[in-house]
Amino acid sequence: MEMVSLAKVLSAPINAITINATIRPYSMAVAPELSSRIALKSLFVFTVTPREYGPTVGFSRKSPNERFPLLPELKDFPTEIHVVAAALTTVDGRFLLQRRGPGGRHGGLWEFPGGKVDDGETPENALIREIEEELGLSLDPDSLLLAGSAREESAGNFPAIVMSLYIIGAWSGDPVGRQGQKWGWFGPDEAALLPMPPVDVELLDRLRMTSS
């Protein structure tokens, strides 16, 4: 797909839309008596303890997890996603970066190529698979060197992200944007001017410090 220059990137506008969900609390005025019973039951755990002269009824305040149990469809919702990315560099120190498609968490931003680690998959195997799928490159498994990891906290409906960046010492093939994404080679200072997700910015800064 199209290879772009830094000047062309900086001249293109990027639009971001944030949608905040609003949750309306249940009104106690709808059914005061029933609501009061439900509220009392949801806040306390009632216990009956056998005693010598008869049972004793007591109660204790419920923990937050007991008061608000997870719905079945939410129990498997991931709270953290592990992704891997590749620092593909040229002999003159330029990085290969690609631009995300529109929409989603960081639509339109530039990033190190890579993707999510699937269940039962090692980070290294996931990175080899993702780079082949995205750019048509075959990575040398023995040349992968972990450069560091960074974390982005959850936001709205998006879970937290932990990204591990690998320096790639050897690969074969010529990069092609197989998923229609734009890509390009950028020097460290040029890459620092690009709009990027927070984890990519943090890891890029580490690479720039170690290379300087």
Number of domains making up the chain:
2
89 lies in a domain?
yes
Q: Are 205 and 167 in the same domain?
A: yes
Name the pLDDT band for 106 (thresholds 50, 70, 90).
confident
- pLDDT at residue 177 in the model: 96
Domain final residue pick, 69, 98, 130: 69
Tokens found for residue 44: 């306390």
Domain final residue pick, 6, 40, 69: 69
CB 74 within 8 A of CB 164: no
Backbone angles phi, psi at 19, to 5 degrees: -110, 120
Asked if the model's pLDDT at residue 79 lies above 70, the reply is yes
Q: Are 100 and 62 in the same domain?
A: no
Nearest CA among 201, 191, 202 for reference residue 4: 191
Q: Are 37 and 84 in the same domain?
A: no
Structural domain boundaries enclosing 46: 32-69
Q: Are 55 and 122 in the same domain?
A: no
For the question of whether the overall pTM of this predicted structure is more than 0.85, the answer is: no
Amino acid at 47: T
- SS3 string, 142-205, reads HHEEEEEEEEECCECCECEEEEEEEEECCEECCCCCCCCCCEEEECHHHHHCCCCCHHHHHHHH
Q: Are 88 and 105 in the same domain?
A: yes
Strands 183-186 and 95-99: antiparallel
Q: Are 56 and 81 in the same domain?
A: no
- pLDDT at residue 82 in the model: 94
d(CA 85, CA 3): 19
205 lies in a domain?
yes
Better-predicted residue by pLDDT, 53 or 83: 83
Q: Are 40 and 93 in the same domain?
A: no
Nearest CA among 123, 132, 131 for reference residue 86: 131
Better-predicted residue by pLDDT, 157 or 66: 157
Q: Are 63 and 79 in the same domain?
A: no
188 lies in a domain?
yes
Cβ-proximal residues to 49 (8 Å cutoff; 6+ apart), any chain: 55, 56, 57, 58
Q: Are 87 and 186 in the same domain?
A: yes
Q: Are 100 and 168 in the same domain?
A: yes
119 lies in a domain?
yes
d(CA 120, CA 2): 34
Question: What integer best gives the mean pLDDT of the chain?
Answer: 76
Domain final residue pick, 18, 46, 69: 69
Q: Are 203 and 124 in the same domain?
A: yes
Q: Are 122 and 105 in the same domain?
A: yes
pLDDT digits (tens, 9 = 90+) for 143-156: 999 999 999 998 77
CATH number for 127: 3.90.79.10
Nearest CA among 151, 153, 113 for reference residue 134: 113
10 lies in a domain?
no
